[in-house]
Structure 1
Amino acid sequence: MIEEIPLPCARLGTRRVLAVHRFGAPGARPRAYLQAALHADETPGMLVAHHLIRLLREAAVTGEVVVVPVANPIGLAQVVEGTHVGRYALDGGGNFNRQFPDLTDAAAERLSGALGDDAAENVRLVRAALRAAHADLTPATEVAALRHALLGLALDADLVLDLHCDQEAVPHLYTGEALWPALSDVAGELGCEAVLLERDSGGTPFDEACSGPWWRLAGRFGSETPVPFGCAAATVELRGKADVSDALAEADARALLRILVRRGVVAGETAPPPPACEATPLAGLERLTAPHPGVIAFHRAVGERVAPGDLVADIVDPSAADPAQARTPLRAGTAGILMARSNRRFAGMGELVASIAGREPLQRTGRGLLFD
């Protein structure tokens, strides 16, 4: 079944909708939610969703699966002089994958005195409280309405996968500390070469808006009123922006189907997943930025292992009076995998050039760990 959810019209004469593909019986468990291209210029997930929808049409869905293959029709339309601006809202609404509502406090108020020692019943009560807290929100802008609609589709799912990509990257995954290693099969099936864990990455991205209230509520109410993690959510980065092909997308879609089978959402049998890579703290992600503008000359490819001091790239000022003084080296400060790098070959001062996933924390945990 396909449902169209209209978004409020920000301008006269415009109309945008979310196309929602539903499989299985409404309300059946387990429930899975998948969306693609919340950052609207990140194309790989849309083609993966296309192949997954085709596979699900032929599968026996015993739970419920909801797929939103184009999660951001606002950003998809933001093309300025041939340049697609899909990461940020041009109306000032910011990064499309930030500032999702945190429903924890509002749900906690509704749950005060209601929870008991029955974990399954507590899960039901928490889901009802989250839905009620969400229903009470009144978004004031088109972007806020988009965030509200997407969160409403996902917030009571058992599994939430938000499909993104980086600029140039190996497959990798972001998720909460509390959800690892429960999501290790997702990383293994999709061939992730890095998994980044954090309790609160800052900025309230979509996956944390779905799963974060569960571990926060569990911490508030304590062991006498157990709150299991009723939603396992992750941001999946499907390589780089140019890694778009039917071969890659179908392989990823089949991996996602195996994940759904393993969780009992889709009927069938599947082999054990490939082993997952090592998970490392999001605070251990080193970001190399350009100290001044210049041409980027890379010396390391994504997926390579680096050690402290290794040369990753040079920032070259082609206008320098002395070519011998034109290069500024960017060297790794930590040991790890070169997870991602810029797909542009010119950087402005302070712009992100490359990211290295390392084991040792380098940043302050808590707020602001995500590169906006």
Structure 2
Amino acid sequence: MRRIDHPLLSPSLGAARQLSSFHFGEAGRGEKVYIQAALHADELPGMLVAWQLKQHFAALEAAGRLNGEIVLVPMANPIGLDQTLLGYQLGRFEQGSGLNFNRHYPALADSVYAMVRTALGNDAAANVRLIRAELSRQLAELPVKNELASLRHTLHGLACDADVVLDLHCDARAALHLYTGTPLWPQCEPLARYLGAHATLLATESGDNPFDEACSQLWWQLAERAAADGLTVPIPPACLAVTVELRGQASVHPTLAERDADAIVAFLIHRGVIGGEVPPLPELLHPATPLAGSETLAAPHPGVVSFRVEPGATVTAGQPLVDIVDPLDDRVTTLASQYGGVVYAQENRHYATTGMELAKIATATAFKTGKLLSA
């Protein structure tokens, strides 16, 4: 195991932060796997899972069982981790700019395609190497103007040439669920099975270029550009990037962390990155559904929130799911799912202001357009 500390651009006199990455296996041998945790710094279950993975990978490396390279960033956001206001950690948005730490990563499909177009050939593996080299070169040359940009630049640079990218997050209160690109579902399904995902939400573009899409989306965008130019060159979806939502913010428990770390190791054995007997694939709990079919229930008026079902519940159309009670005017509004599906996330606060999103249901009906992710 090697540790590399990456200094971030200093935001102010006397202030300096760094990002630490841990490297296992041999670079250039087999597949590269990149795993990071707590990009939203108030989402801590992934940090505990990453620590468990660190112990696993060190032991596996010592045993000679790594067939590829693994890069682990157990704490992906030192900026957000240091944002505490009146006793509350505020890790989703950078306080100085208000920007989401998991949005607005560079979208480089056009510039990369312009540089590689004439060099693409009939060898898919050669095309992948060519594209990764050009992507790495362009990322390295991007200007870095502030600390947030330097954090994004460092994380993206570590992950851009990986075959597998796992971005460990969590929701407010939730069942374990995944987000990934629609073309990536065949590669992602074993991970969903090992982790016991209650929902996997698919999209080719969710909006605002989050970290996982910055790593994966470029590949099918390049293939689309080549096809539009009449080129019959193979460009595979060469990066399986998945946002792994490890239940809710309070789901920080050693038993859960051990279970999730074991599931990720099992997936990497299944993929061949780690040597050993492949663990049997568990049953898929729920089929993948479109992110455009994620139904959101929002409060029509303020009041006390009372949930009727737990995250992970399968519900039917019209089933009552949450009550909003106004104790002043005796208004009680009950919200139900229009389509039915799996309740994969809920708000963890029990007082709603008007318009607050309270619950999300993974449905099989794609009905949304435009930006599909919340802020």
Same fold, TM-score > 0.5, yes or no: yes
Residue equivalent to 2:56: 55
Q: 2:102 matched to 1:84? A: no
Q: Which amino acid aligns with 1:329?
A: T
Q: Which amino acid aligns with 2:188?
A: L
Q: Report the secondary structure of 2:152's partner residue.
A: helix
Residue equivalent to 2:336: 331
Residue equivalent to 1:18: 19
Q: Could you tell me how far apart the structure 2 residues matched to 1:267 and 1:182 are?
A: 18
Q: Could you tell me how far apart the structure 2 residues matched to 1:74 and 1:348 are?
A: 29
Q: Which amino acid aligns with 2:298?
A: T
Query: What is the Cα-based RMSD across aligned positions, in Å?
Result: 1.1
Q: 2:326 matched to 1:317? A: yes
Find 1:104's aligned residue among 100, 105, 109. Answer: 109
Find 1:269's aligned residue among 273, 277, 282. Answer: 277
Q: 2:367 matched to 1:362? A: yes
| Runs (5+) with no aligned partner, structure 2 | none
Residue equivalent to 2:246: 238
Q: CA deviation at 1:271?
A: 2.1
Q: Could you tell me how far apart the structure 2 residues matched to 1:309 and 1:62 are?
A: 50
Q: Which amino acid aligns with 2:126?
A: E
Q: Report the secondary structure of 1:181's partner residue.
A: helix
Q: CA deviation at 1:319?
A: 2.2
Q: CA deviation at 1:29?
A: 2.2
Q: CA deviation at 1:127?
A: 0.6
Residue equivalent to 1:253: 261
Q: Could you tell me how far apart the structure 2 residues matched to 1:74 and 1:292 are?
A: 35
Residue equivalent to 1:38: 39
TM-score (norm 1): 0.96
Q: Report the secondary structure of 2:234's partner residue.
A: coil
Residue equivalent to 1:2: 3
Q: CA deviation at 1:273?
A: 1.8
> Contact conserved, 1:98 with 1:206, CA < 8 A, in 2?
yes
> Contact conserved, 2:318 with 2:340, CA < 8 A, in 1?
no
1:184-195 pair list within 5 angstroms: 184-195=189-200
1:106-121 pair list within 5 angstroms: 106-121=111-126
More displaced 10-residue stretch of structure 1: 139-148 or 279-288: 139-148
Distance 1:17 1:164, change over 3 A: same
Q: Could you tell me how far apart the structure 1 residues matched to 2:301 and 2:30 are?
A: 53
1:222-237 pair list within 5 angstroms: 222=227, 224-237=232-245
Q: Which amino acid aligns with 1:354?
A: A
Give the total of aligned pairs: 366
Runs (4+) of structure 1 exceeding 2 A deviation are: 26-29
Sequence identity, in percent? 47
Deviations 1:196-223 (A, max 9, x none): 0001011101000000000110111136
Q: Report the secondary structure of 2:118's partner residue.
A: coil
Q: Report the secondary structure of 1:221's partner residue.
A: helix
Q: CA deviation at 1:12?
A: 1.2
Q: Report the secondary structure of 1:94's partner residue.
A: coil
Distance 1:217 1:263, change over 3 A: same
Q: Could you tell me how far apart the structure 2 residues matched to 1:264 and 1:130 are?
A: 25
Deviations 1:78-129 (A, max 9, x none): 1001011111111114111111111211111111211011111111101111
Q: Could you tell me how far apart the structure 2 residues matched to 1:39 and 1:12 are?
A: 25
Residue equivalent to 1:122: 127
Q: 2:215 matched to 1:210? A: yes
Residue equivalent to 1:138: 143
Q: Which amino acid aligns with 1:95?
A: N
Q: Could you tell me how far apart the structure 2 residues matched to 1:33 and 1:279 are?
A: 23
TM-score (norm 2): 0.95
Residue equivalent to 2:314: 305
Q: Report the secondary structure of 2:323's partner residue.
A: strand
Q: Could you tell me how far apart the structure 2 residues matched to 1:22 and 1:347 are?
A: 44
Q: Which amino acid aligns with 2:316?
A: A
Q: Report the secondary structure of 1:29's partner residue.
A: coil
Q: Could you tell me how far apart the structure 1 residues matched to 2:298 and 2:147 are?
A: 33
Q: CA deviation at 1:292?
A: 1.8
Q: Could you tell me how far apart the structure 2 residues matched to 1:21 and 1:121 are?
A: 28
More displaced 10-residue stretch of structure 1: 47-56 or 326-335: 326-335
Q: Which amino acid aligns with 1:199?
A: T
Residue equivalent to 2:172: 167
Q: 2:266 matched to 1:289? A: no
Q: Which amino acid aligns with 2:320?
A: L
Q: CA deviation at 1:293?
A: 1.8
Q: CA deviation at 1:25?
A: 1.3
Residue equivalent to 1:95: 100
Q: CA deviation at 1:139?
A: 2.1
Q: CA deviation at 1:159?
A: 0.3
Q: Report the secondary structure of 1:95's partner residue.
A: coil
Q: Could you tell me how far apart the structure 1 residues matched to 2:147 and 2:98 are?
A: 9
